[in-house]
Structure 1
């Protein structure tokens, strides 16, 4: 079999190209989980909390299509301000233990949730958008999950509650008052993909008016003792197409000063008509740069210096691509997005979805981790927020497009590696193995290799729902324990071998990069 040889070039260990947020890789819980409130109790699963903790530090976004159809409907009479049950005096650890889901109830809920997912996906396909009522219990379960797992919660408010052309804030104010009474530290969004309101609800909201709605929300937050300095993010527009860029420009004209970061959504392909080849196509992966640069240009023009986030993102829109978005092959889109987005200067990426309807989740209906989950955990452990420059070229000096490489300082939170270590992560989109030669300044470093391959052999393995790390299939030891996720040491001076259709993290322990000390 042919082996593709590449040389790592343009490596700069002295300068940080970009620095992203410490919570760069963040996750979402889709608001579809609250379509029936009982499913929110899944957030009390000890197994799900174990999996969630390994993804921190991170933001946890609660939002999506259903958020603009959600009405806060408390079960107690909250008509008198501050007439709420007070926050429990139990210590946080005891509270987290107390709110855990009993195993028999978890088993039944998981079985019912698998059926509910099918129903929700059919509604999505048919374009059915029902109103959803949620109570204070759903908020308690969500906040407990975020807090006990170590996430920073961002709650998406309904922007389609409108009086005339303006946002009607009464329902949101009731929710905010409840959350404040419980001392729930959280951030906020208003609306999800306003560019599609006309399709979903027959309402067209102008970008300028949307900005005024955010001004109104910020004023409400500023009047709160707890939320006067809280984060507000938006407008969560879809990627640039037709009038969407105009909507973003108009929003920024009136609302830019109200938001802490400007959010937009990105998916590569339509989940209903995509293919395996799309997931491995360098040209498809490169479209992220085109769309990102369009958004960055728009924001820089109207609101220079504003942080930009991918507020919702995954491989394929429309709930994901069946048999692809939750399989091993999805990792190529996900890891490349993490590398390219950081290099382009996006500050945070929120992955759709940790749990929720669709086929792009990180854990399945049984709450078992899928390949992209393991990839995300390794990224969290090994990759730091400092982006360095690097590129892969063939010996003829031609950039290798099917071998994609990214270089960061190694995560300083990891006690296994010294300061000055760097992490190279690489994707091989070809079935032929690849060999990477390191440049002189780091060629003598000892290396820890974390090579991820499909759980099943051959090209059919791209459809696998399991993944091997250095040859061992990854699975939980038990519901409260992850496997150790250890690297394999490589001797200094050895070239890096990347099998066909695989990706890997290489920690160069003795790189002594000045930028990373």
Structure 2
């Protein structure tokens, strides 16, 4: 028999304060069981990854925002990670090496042979940054209009844009994935690779280490561009791209990911099946996109609804079944994902409540079979960004930093039984368990991190069983800066009661847990989520 440790969870009827140390009366409403003797599955160390939306390049001057030292400070805290450059506009982008930008911005890096000190040199001057931020707000209105009308113009980008993008990835230590245009097609409806070839040659001449994708959401090409590409042909296009990469000494073994399809609708999987039949050998991971709701008609209640959160299981299983039929063992990624499609839900996707969808997705995706989850978007148009138009970090950003620091690659099993229920079977307390990330946190072997989400306005109380009850706990409890339901709309977040904000443009605050001595109950206030690190859990799986 595997040594099972039982973890008792129960809810308080009396309201508890936000202080994780506060005790209350125990009611035996919910209990959970965890197994820390073996690893259920492991994810990539870049599991939580980021996207920069290709809309940034629609007017090239906005690429200079990637030179902001504040933005780079924020990005560095989220490594190791992939940085995906792609999205809807990627299939309207054409590489044009000849054209020189005429937007009056001095190209302020002369050479792109990046050394450690060139990252300092490439920084954006503060006055220019301020001007660009103001202009970006107007640009977003134009981009939104384009998205609503589905009328997309061709966008030219130059080697300067590629340099700025690569400098950002390189100086923040992220692994760049560049999305190529799959809508450049011959009269016979085969991908025309000549434009991609010249871009790849340029990147090779600069020794830019990067991976590649081809096309974004090919299932919607007809709606966006009046072009139909079936899965098998798309797969052939990927085979062709892989040949181009293999011919290159530098990109011989470069990563290639695809097909970046939208989540299955009405259980249709023909595009993915056809694609995998012709291309499963040439891709390093199969990518698909997932959003829970439509940003234009969703509600606060959706963001807190366990049934909405569980739709991820259904969609993931459909994709995994398809992949495993054709190519078992192939890694599967959420190649683009956030709360709401259509650019996010204004006033929800950029507020505290979005954290419930984001943290639950990270917990659930790791558990049910995803290897990497790419968050749409670090910076770019829409309201599901981690960093807002003033380059201020939003609540989901802080949550992501804590996840990176405290949550390791190894997924452990934890199950909740009975209790903490509202309206029948809706579980409003959700938990996930991982080994602690010992690389970035100074925790010892055998430590575990419990992720807990309380979707109810009532506080919950968690009692730890032996042997875990002998371990002290570091509690990292995240709440809105206003405790009421109104606080769910806040764009600020507190850690153990302290407001999180940058110290200055180059310094993040200390993110410290509250120390709980062994034997204390864990408190989870209403509408909160938390990471509880047990440094002396002595988990066999985490040794």
Q: Answer yes or no: same fold by TM over 0.5.
A: yes
Specify the alignment match of 1:500 in structure 2.
526
Q: Summarize deviations over 1:425-457 as a string: whole Å, max 9, x none.
A: 100000000111222221111000000000223
Residues 281 and 75 of structure 1, relative CA distance in 2, 3 Å threshold = same
Distance in structure 2 (CA, Å) of the matches to 1:160 and 1:204:
10
Shift of 1:128: 2.0
Distance in structure 2 (CA, Å) of the matches to 1:277 and 1:215:
44
Specify the alignment match of 2:144 in structure 1.
121
Specify the alignment match of 1:21 in structure 2.
44
Whether the 8 Å contact between 1:194 and 1:205 is mirrored in structure 2 is: yes
Specify the alignment match of 2:429 in structure 1.
403
Specify the alignment match of 2:455 in structure 1.
429
Shift of 1:495: 1.3
Distance in structure 2 (CA, Å) of the matches to 1:243 and 1:178:
41
Please say which of residues 397-406 and 451-460 is displaced more in the overlay: 397-406
Q: Summarize deviations over 1:289-320 as a string: whole Å, max 9, x none.
A: 00000100000001111000000000000000
Distance in structure 1 (CA, Å) of the matches to 2:99 and 2:249:
23
Whether the 8 Å contact between 1:393 and 1:400 is mirrored in structure 2 is: no
Match of 2:82 among 59, 76, 79: 59
Match of 2:326 among 302, 321, 324: 302
Whether the 8 Å contact between 1:262 and 1:306 is mirrored in structure 2 is: yes
Whether the 8 Å contact between 1:233 and 1:262 is mirrored in structure 2 is: yes
Specify the alignment match of 2:492 in structure 1.
466
Q: Is 2:220 the counterpart of 1:196? A: yes
Distance in structure 2 (CA, Å) of the matches to 1:95 and 1:170:
32
What is the TM-score when the length of structure 1 is the normalising length? 0.96
Shift of 1:114: 1.3
Distance in structure 2 (CA, Å) of the matches to 1:302 and 1:90:
42
Distance in structure 2 (CA, Å) of the matches to 1:396 and 1:245:
37
Whether the 8 Å contact between 1:452 and 1:504 is mirrored in structure 2 is: yes
Specify the alignment match of 1:450 in structure 2.
476
Whether the 8 Å contact between 1:195 and 1:244 is mirrored in structure 2 is: no
Specify the alignment match of 1:187 in structure 2.
211
Whether the 8 Å contact between 2:471 and 2:536 is mirrored in structure 1 is: yes
Q: Summarize deviations over 1:321-359 as a string: whole Å, max 9, x none.
A: 010001000000000000000000100000000001000
Specify the alignment match of 1:359 in structure 2.
383
Secondary structure (helix, strand or coil) at the match of 1:439 reads coil
Specify the alignment match of 1:81 in structure 2.
none
Specify the alignment match of 2:105 in structure 1.
none
Specify the alignment match of 2:258 in structure 1.
234
Match of 1:140 among 156, 163, 183: 163
Gaps of 5+ in 1: 78-86
Residues 13 and 70 of structure 1, relative CA distance in 2, 3 Å threshold = same
Secondary structure (helix, strand or coil) at the match of 1:435 reads strand
Whether the 8 Å contact between 2:405 and 2:441 is mirrored in structure 1 is: no
Pairwise CA RMSD of aligned residues? Answer: 1.8
Q: Is 2:266 the counterpart of 1:255? A: no
1:340-419 correspondence to structure 2 within 5 Å: 340-394=364-418, 401-419=427-445
What is the TM-score when the length of structure 2 is the normalising length? 0.91
Please say which of residues 119-128 and 19-28 is displaced more in the overlay: 119-128
Q: Summarize deviations over 1:67-109 as a string: whole Å, max 9, x none.
A: 00000011379xxxxxxxxx95866211111111001100100
Specify the alignment match of 1:276 in structure 2.
300
Shift of 1:9: 2.5
Distance in structure 2 (CA, Å) of the matches to 1:330 and 1:172:
37
Q: Which runs of 4+ in 1 moved over 4 A?
A: 3-8, 87-91, 394-400
- The number of residues matched between the two structures is 509
Distance in structure 2 (CA, Å) of the matches to 1:282 and 1:131:
41
Gaps of 5+ in 2: 1-11, 15-26, 101-109
